[in-house]
Every structure is written in C-alpha cells, then in structure tokens.
Amino acid sequence: MSDIPTKARVVVIGGGVVGCSVLYHLGLKGWTDCVLLEKNELTAGSTWHAAGNVPTFSTSWSIMNMQRYSTELYARLGAEVDYPMNYHQSGSIRLAHTKERMQEFERAASMGRYQGIAMEIWTPEEAKEHYPFLETHDLAGVLYDPTDGDIDPAQLTQALAKGARDMGQKILRFCPATGVTQQADKSWVVHTEKGDIAADYVVNAAGYYAQRVGEWFKPYGGRTVPMMVMEHQYLLTEQIPEVVAWSEEHGKKLPLIRDVDVSYYLRQEKGGYNLGPYEPNCKAHWEGGDAEMPDDFSFQLWQEDLDRIEDIVTDAMERVPLMATTGVSSVINGPIPYAPDGLPLIGPMPGVDNAFEACVFTFGIAQGGGAGKVMAEWIVDGATEWDMWAVDPRRYTDYTDHDYCVAKGMEVYGNEYAMHFPWHRWPAA
C-alpha cells in the first residue's frame, strides 16, 4: 500500500535547500497541505557539496534583500525548529586593489546600511588589525560585513525539512517525479513512480535538473529553462597551528576573505582553509545540455583539475602566507547551475498557469532562505513584498538556446567577482 498522498495544494519538485525552504515558507503562510518530491535523498544535488558561504553582499538591491533575510532566518532557525546547526557569522573582509573597486564597496555598503546591515569601510591597516595573517601592502581598502559567514548545507536543509514536517507538510524521498499533466481547470496532476498527486500549483526546484523538469511543461505553453552547468572547484587545506591558536585565543573563526580583484574567497575551515576560486579559464560540463546529463548524479563529483586554478592558489598564498605552510587535504569539484546572468529563476513559469520556478541557483545556500519566502509570497499572495524583477523567470524568452546559455554562463562565472557597472553588457553570445 503506497503512503503517497493523492492531493496537495502545492507540489515542490526537488529536495535541495531551495525546495525545502519553499515548503517551509509555504507552511509559515498557513499552507500546510503541500508535498515535496525528491528522487534521491534530501540535499542530493548541488546542496550536499556546496561550500556553505552565506554572504549578504550584492550590487542588486533585491538580491541583497534576499540574502539578508537568509542570514536573519538561519541565525534563529535552529532554535525555532529544534534542530541544532553549525552557523558561523564570522564576518568577511572584501579586498579592494583600486579606487574604482572602493567606489563599488561604498555603494554596496550604503545599500547594506539602509537594509540594516552594519557594513563598514576599513583601511588596509584596520584590516590587518582584525586579520594579522593578511598581506595588505597593495590594497586600497576593505569592505567589512559583520553578517557574512558560513553554514553546514546539509544541516540547514534538514532543519528546514524538519520545520516543514512539524507543520504538517509531506516530504517524499526516493520518489522521482516523472511528468505532469494540466487539467481543464489549470490545476495539475504530478506523476511519480509511486502514484499520481493532484495539485493546484507546481514548483520546479530541481536545481541543475531544472531544464529536464521544465520540458514537462512545454506542451502547456512553457519554454526550455535557460541554464547550463559549470564545474566549480574548491580545495581544503590541512590544519595550520597558527590558525588553530588564533581561533582558540579569540573564541571564533577568522573573518572570511574575498579577494574580488583576483577572484576567490578564502575562509577558515576548522583549523585550516577553504579556498574557492572563480577562474576565467573555467569549464562547462554536460555541454550538450540535458541529453548528456545522467539520470542521477546524486552525491557524485568530478575529477579535480588543479592546473586550471594554479595561478589563483599561488596568489592566495602570497596574500595569506600561512596558506603556503600546509598541504591540500581534499578538492571538491561538483556541478553548479548558471542562468545566463548568474541570477536564479524565482517566480511564475513563463507562459504556464499555476506553475513556478525556483531553480538555477548559483548561490543556493546564501539565497535559499530568502528564495523560500519570495516563492511562498508569489504562490499564496500573488505578489512579493520586494521588487524581485531581477530574478523573475519571465526576463528570459526563447532566444536563450543552449549555445547562448553555455557562452553566457561561462562568461558570468569567470566574471563572478568583476565590477558590475549599470547598463554594462558583457560581450559573449
């Protein structure tokens, strides 16, 4: 006898951090008769191998708002749902090498302060006081964000899932969705290997499988989801005695460093470092699109390719010489999805009634909390509290064929930390 429900107000497809956040926030708004479908275990997509950084910084007002909400939610979530989590708000320092970069920081800081984030502009000397292992001789200044930090992605996802279940929501693991059929009244039947579920609304939160799920909606007016998949590497070092000693003395982690003009972040991970580069000579994966993707890539990684990031690793060792005193303990190289502008798709599915997208998150951990709030408002209230046009899926129509998405995705990845001037258009595609 199957325990699958036959009816739900909303069916969410995908059990990563975003899907679980959507389910949790629907419950907060009183819709507690919803179902989440996950074909493997929760976190099986990009969530499980994510580095777990939770910044608020953005040059986009709506993205900063969404990420700010995430930091506020994560700080209280463990206590609210009675699920302990490792969440370290260690703060971060963003390094500026030029006066122009300092102007960008000052603009972002003014946005952040207006939203209630106590961002500060520091001199290189002030940065050195807070981070004694940092070389500052060539810096123009620093942006400090006290709310920045990192969280355990699996714990976060499970906490959201527990909170949703406690409100009555259903989560079906190892239950792949296999298709959808729209009814005459514009409601849906979601097909699974274990039976059908009638639903008023469907949410595509399928991560880097969002394009495959999106194809099910094309007969009802949908379009191919504009996305591609990047290889993203980060490396973990072995323990460093000086880092351990500093942490023990101060009772906290070192601030996270982002050297945006070189294009990497460097964060304390236990007693060592986590270095994550966004290299210009990046690599797309599954370039043939959905047809090349395996049916299930859960909890798998690709072979490391350290040659591609060698220059950035060398630069990080010069910036923080302690890095050069230890070895690499492991390298994570996994898939992350990219839309052509690097921003997620959150909102109504273009051309399709009663269907929504909450997918293609490049920074799903940082944005997942806010995305759940926004998506629940879209579905329940018909509009969002904040202006979210920057992430509205309807910003893309059918000119975004796969070649376009691959070219733009690689361009955005390689320029992840570049300065984004108003109205500036990158040249690819």
CATH of residue 199's domain is 3.50.50.60
Please indicate, yes or no, if residue 85 is contained in any of the structural domains: no
Q: What is the mean pLDDT of the chain?
A: 94
Give a yes or no: residue 81 inside a domain: no
**For position 262, which CATH number holds?**
3.30.9.10
User: pLDDT confidence of 2, banded at 50, 70, 90?
Assistant: low
Together in a domain, 269 and 326? yes
Q: Cβ distance 53 to 71 under 8 Å? A: no
Q: What are the pLDDT digits (tens) for 212-230?
A: 999 999 999 999 999 999 9
Last residue of a domain, one of 313, 336, 359: 336
Task: Flag whether 350 is in a domain.
Answer: yes
321 and 281 in a common domain = yes
Q: Which residue has the higher pLDDT, 388 or 300?
A: 388
What pLDDT digit, counting tens, does each position of 138-182 carry? 999 999 999 999 999 999 999 999 999 999 999 999 999 999 999
pTM of the predicted model as reported, rounded to 2 decimal places: 0.95
Residues 313 and 324 in one domain: yes
Domain boundary among 317, 336, 355: 336
Amino acid 363: pLDDT: 94
Same domain for 114 and 220? Answer: no
- pLDDT class of 1 with cuts at 50, 70, 90: very low
Determine whether 190 is exposed, middle or buried from the number of CB atoms within 10 Å of its CB (0-12, 13-18, 19+). Answer: buried
Q: Is 421 part of any domain?
A: no
Whether residue 335 contacts residue 39, with contact meaning beta carbons closer than 8 Å, is answered with: no
The predicted structure's pLDDT at residue 295:
86
Does 241 have pLDDT greater than 90?
Answer: yes
How many structural domains is the chain composed of?
2
Query: Which range of residues forms the domain containing residue 210?
Result: 7-49+153-227+341-405
Stretch 412-419: mean pLDDT: 91
Mean pLDDT confidence for 273-284: 91
Pick from 424, 375, 264, 329: nearest CA to 12: 375
**pLDDT (tens digit per residue) in 65-115:** 999 999 999 999 999 999 999 999 999 999 999 999 999 999 999 999 999
**Same domain as 346, residue 330:** no
- 426 Cβ contact list (under 8 Å, min separation 6): 408, 411, 412, 415
Residue 202 lies in a domain: yes
Same domain membership, residue 322 and residue 267: yes
Are both 272 and 173 inside the same structural domain? no
Among 336, 368, 397, where does a domain finish? 336
Q: Based on the domain organization, do 142 and 206 belong to the same domain?
A: no
Same domain, 257 and 129: yes
Task: Give the per-residue pLDDT at 22.
Answer: 98
Segment 188-199 shows an average pLDDT of 97
